Structure 1
Amino acid sequence: MFDTMTSTKIIGAFCGALLVFMLGKWAAESLYSMGGGHGDEEHHAGYVIEVEGGDDHGGEQEQGPTFEELLASADVGKGAKVFAKCKACHKLEQGANGTGPYLYGVVGRAIGGAEGFNYSGSLNQVGDTWTPEHLDAFLANPKGAAPGTSMSFGGLKKDTDRANLIAYLDSLDD
C-alpha cells in the first residue's frame, strides 16, 4: 500500500489545502462583507454615500411649505432622479432584495414587510406602516429615526427631494 512518508505527504497536503481554504474565506469575508441587511451595525461593513450638506443631521429648518403640501406638488420624474442615490442598495422589482429591501410597494407596506429580507428590530421604533410621513422622517435621517439600523446612507436633507422620492415610489404600484 502506502509507506509512512507517502501517507504523511497526503495528510500534509490535505491539511495545507484546508488551511489555505479557511484563510481565503476569512480574507474574502473581511474584504467584501456586506452584513446581513439593516441589522447589527457593528458587524456590518457598508458604504457611506456622501450627500449634500455633510454631517449636518437636523437642527433649525427654514420655514416653508408643509410636508403634505410638498407631497401634493411632488414631481415623480424628479423623484426617479433622486432614486439614483438609492439604487446602489435597493431594487424596485417586487421581491428583488439587494443590500437593502426592495422598494416596490413600500408606501403603505408594513415596516419590515419585504418578503425575504432580514430586518433588524431597530426599525420597529419608526412605526407599523411606511406612511409618507414615516418615510419622510426615515429618509431625512435614517440613523436618527431608527438608531442601530445598518443603513449607512446619511439621509436626504432637502424636503423636496424626499417628497419627490416618496411620490415616485408610491407611483410604482399604481
Structure 2
Amino acid sequence: MFDTMTLTKLLGGFCGAFLVFLLGKFAAETIYHGGGGHGDAHAQGYVIEISSGDDNAVAEEGPSIEELLASADIGKGERVFNKCKACHKLEKGANSTGPYLYGVVGRPVDSAEGYTYSGALEKVADVWTPEHLNGFLTNPGGYAPGTTMGFSGLGKAEDRANVIAFLDSLDD
C-alpha cells in the first residue's frame, strides 16, 4: 500500500511544513522583539516618566465639605441616592441589605435598630457627621477597612455633598 516514494513525499511534506513554521517564528520574533541579540529582548521601547514628588505631600483639594454643603442641591442628592436604593431604605426601622438611612446625619455610628453591623465603622467614627459621611462615601472600604458595604464610593465631591444634604433633610 505504501511504497518508498509515498513515504518520501510524506516525510518531505512534513519537513517543508516544519521549515515554513520555523521561518514564520523567526520572522515574528524579529518583527516584534527586534533583531538584536537576546540581551535586547526585554529592553523597554520608551521610558514612562513618573513624578518624584514627596509621598507625604497633600494633594491639592477642592472646596471643603462645609462649602459644598452650603451650596448643595437636595433634588440632585435625591437623584444620586438612587444608587443607594438597592441596599438602603429611607423609612425609619426599615433595614434592607444595609441599614436604614433615615436620620443618619448626626446619628451614632452602628445604631440602626435591628441591623447587625460588621464593627468596622466603630473604629473610625462615633457619630455620622457630614465629614465622616463624606469620607465614608468617598471610598467605604478605604475609610473603614473591614466594612461589609461593597459599594465603591461616589467620586464627585458635589454628589457626596448633595446626598448628605438630601439625607439630612429627611428628618428635619
**Structure 1 residue ranges (4+ consecutive) displaced by more than 2 angstroms after TM superposition:** 60-64
Q: Which amino acid aligns with 1:139?
A: L
1:120 to 118, 121, 124: 118
| Cα distance in structure 2, aligned partners of 1:152 and 1:61 | 26
Identity value in percent: 70
Per-residue deviation, 1:120: 1.1
When normalised by structure 2's length, the TM-score is 0.65
1:66 to 61, 64, 67: 64
Per-residue deviation, 1:68: 0.9
Which residue does the alignment assign to 1:48?
Answer: none
Per-residue deviation, 1:150: 1.2
Q: How many residues align?
A: 116
Indicate if the aligned counterparts of 1:142 and 1:149 stay in contact, CA closer than 8 A. yes
When normalised by structure 1's length, the TM-score is 0.64
| Cα distance in structure 2, aligned partners of 1:126 and 1:157 | 20
Which residue does the alignment assign to 2:160?
Answer: 162
Secondary structure of the corresponding residue to residue 84 of structure 1:
helix
Indicate if the aligned counterparts of 1:111 and 1:129 stay in contact, CA closer than 8 A. yes
Q: CA RMSD in A?
A: 1.5
Q: Which amino acid aligns with 1:161?
A: D
Indicate if the aligned counterparts of 2:65 and 2:130 stay in contact, CA closer than 8 A. no
Larger radius of gyration: 2
Per-residue deviation, 1:62: 5.2
| Cα distance in structure 2, aligned partners of 1:89 and 1:62 | 33
| Cα distance in structure 1, aligned partners of 2:93 and 2:163 | 20
